[in-house]
Amino acid sequence: MSFGFGVCREPSIELEGENNMSISVPPSNMHQHLHNVLQSGEGADISFKVKGETFPAHRIILASRSSVFRAELFGSMSESTASCIEIEDMEPQIFKALLQFIYTDMFPPSDDHTDEGVELDGDIMAQHLIVAADRYALDRLRLICEETLAKKINADNVVTTLALAAQHNCQQLKELCLDYISSSKILDSLIETDVFESFLVSCPSIYKQLLKKVASNRRT
Amino acid sequence: MSFGFGVCREPSIELEGENNMSISVPPSNMHQHLHNVLQSGEGADISFKVKGETFPAHRIILASRSSVFRAELFGSMSESTASCIEIEDMEPQIFKALLQFIYTDMFPPSDDHTDEGVELDGDIMAQHLIVAADRYALDRLRLICEETLAKKINADNVVTTLALAAQHNCQQLKELCLDYISSSKILDSLIETDVFESFLVSCPSIYKQLLKKVASNRRT
């Protein structure tokens, strides 16, 4: 059949505006398409070796999502011509989650995360992914992990969380930790602990910020 | 500073559940990242020549989104080894919109669409993109275009729209056109027109479907 549209003019019988006929359009499935490509490894042009596990990937997708990968894979660094890059200071499970975020913009991943033996606790995963997100300049992933940890701040973990936040450019999480410490009644107990003291010694800039907040709270 | 998290155990002072501290996470920006890559052409490993205009692109992104591109670019077809593919039966503006949809899952594109001289009317663009979406098996794009055209169905364009829908696997749009023709009072006028007659001659299966609908309407 060769009845081309736009070729014949139709007779002008009646002119109407928009009607209320509608067709339902499914939501975006791009994350699923890119996830399939990650899973299959088809067309992979780079691979990463992480503590014995190998992860095939696609340079252009990594570079489009991370300025650090972009510099590594398309810049003048030695990695730009390598076909395999070794990553020594990261757990395979963390690197896998990192790749899944890069390809899908989702964390935690909605799919095969549970069928692979031991699963990392969500908070531990978020802590490790903050380090990875900071390293590869994945700001949105870092914020998602900051949010996960912010919800769990309590007297037991606030110093650890504050240390992590201070080390890895988590401005919002750092502020929440400082607010929590300075506003809650735990400060007096915390001050006496070794972990708090060694943290303050190692991070004097935080010490000043905390002092300011406490002083400000006591004035109001 | 080397205050590692997870190394020291913090003192157990008080255990709380989830607090109400929150960090705002921005929405997904993956479409923007991939759009930037399309715009810059960095890392492109294939190009398309469409009536004199050249479009650099990335095989893996095309293949991840379209089974037709996947077969062309990673299968046994001659295109799989070509560095430039010529497309003769499509306007450059349509191919550009097609690429933008592939990279962003969005149509119409939200960005530089207006700064390029003559802009195609939205309906005409949707008509052409239905043809392109059908050719490259981009079902979601086809549905978005079907929806655009469904809202504009009127007596002036219903035959053209029906012909387009019948030719390019637009089941929902076809049904809406048939519903419109069989339920509205324009059928008597349409029947007398040459465009309607030639359409019915060229597409007897539609003729039967329309007849059934009209008969069914008259019984109720």
pLDDT per 10-residue tile (average), chain A, 220 residues: 40 57 92 96 96 97 97 84 93 96 86 50 92 97 96 92 94 94 84 85 84 79
Helix (H, G, I), strand (E, B) or coil at B87: strand
**pTM for the full model?**
0.85
CA distance A44 to A103: 13
Contact B163 A65 (CB under 8 A): no
Does residue B12 surpass a pLDDT of 50?
Answer: no
Residue A140 distance to chain B (closest CA, Å):
7
Residue B17, CB half-sphere, CA atoms under 13 Å: how many? 0
What was the pLDDT predicted at A180?
A: 92
Q: Which tokens sit at B77? A: 């077809």
Strand partners, B86: B49
Residue B17, pLDDT score: 61
Vertex B186: Cα angle to B183 and B189 (nearest 5): 140
Query: What backbone torsions phi and psi does residue B27 show, to the nearest 5 degrees?
Result: -70, 170
> Are the beta carbons of B55 and B15 closer than 8 angstroms?
no
Q: What is the DSSP letter of B27?
A: P
State how far the Cα of B107 lies from the Cα of B144, in Å rounded to an integer. 8
pLDDT of residue A217: 78
| pLDDT at residue B123 is higher than 60 | yes
In angstroms, what CA-CA distances link B123 with B73, B142, B145, B156, B201?
Answer: 31, 13, 8, 13, 26
Per-residue H/E/C for B137-182: CCHHHHHHHHHHHHHCCCCCCHHHHHHHHHHCCCHHHHHHHHHHHH
Average pLDDT over residues B200-220: 82
- What residues in B contact A28, CB-CB < 8 Å? 31, 105, 140
B81: Cα within 13 Å, side-chain hemisphere:
3
Side-by-side strand order, sheet with A46-50: A53-57, A46-50, A84-87
Please tell me the distance from the alpha carbon of residue A30 to that of residue B31, in angstroms, as a whole number: 9
CB contact (8 A) between residue B10 and residue A147: no
Query: What is the ipTM metric for this complex?
Result: 0.84
| Interatomic CA distance for residues B98 and B160, integer angstroms | 22
Residues of chain A contacting B65 with CB distance shorter than 8 Å: 30, 33
Bridge partners (DSSP) of residue B54 are: B49
Task: Determine which of A14, A30, A175 to mutate to test the interface with B (most B C-beta atoms within 10 Å).
Answer: A30
Interstrand relation of A53-57 and B46-50 (parallel, antiparallel or unpaired) = unpaired
Look at A155 and B42 and tell me if their CB atoms are within 8 Å.
Answer: no
CA distance A67 to A46: 17
Instruction: Identify all chain B residues contacting A24, using CB atoms and an 8 Å cutoff.
Output: 143, 147
Confidence of residue B117 (pLDDT cuts 50, 70, 90): very low
The residue type found at A212 is: K
Closest partner residue to A127 (CB to CB) among B6, B21, B58 is B6
With residue A178 as reference, give the H or E element that holds it: helix A171-183
B114/chain A closest Cα distance in angstroms: 23
Q: Which residues of A touch B22 (CB under 8 A)?
A: 147, 150-151
Task: Tokens for A125, please give them.
Answer: 């995963």
Residue A57 C-alpha, separation from nearest chain B C-alpha, in angstroms: 11
B163 contacts A6? CB cut-off 8 A: no
The mean predicted confidence, pLDDT, of chain B is 85
pLDDT of residue B195: 85
Query: Residue B202's closest chain A neighbor by CA?
Result: A1
Domains of chain A, residue spans: 153-220
Q: Which fold has domain B153-220?
A: 1.25.40
Q: Could B64 and A33 be called an inter-chain contact, meaning their C-beta atoms sit closer than 8 Å?
A: yes
Tell me what pLDDT residue B3 has. 40
Task: Summarize pLDDT for B141-169 with one digit per residue, the tens.
Answer: 999 999 999 999 998 899 999 999 999 99
User: From CA A133, how far away is CA A126, in angstroms rounded?
Assistant: 10
Given the DSSP bridges, would you call strands B84-87 and B46-50 parallel, antiparallel or unpaired? parallel
Q: Do B10 and A195 touch (CB under 8 A)?
A: yes
> Between A and B, how many residue pairs show a Cβ–Cβ distance under 8 A?
221
pLDDT(B176) > 60: yes
Separation of alpha carbons B187 and B148, rounded Å: 23
Round to whole Å and give the CA distance between B16 and B19. 8
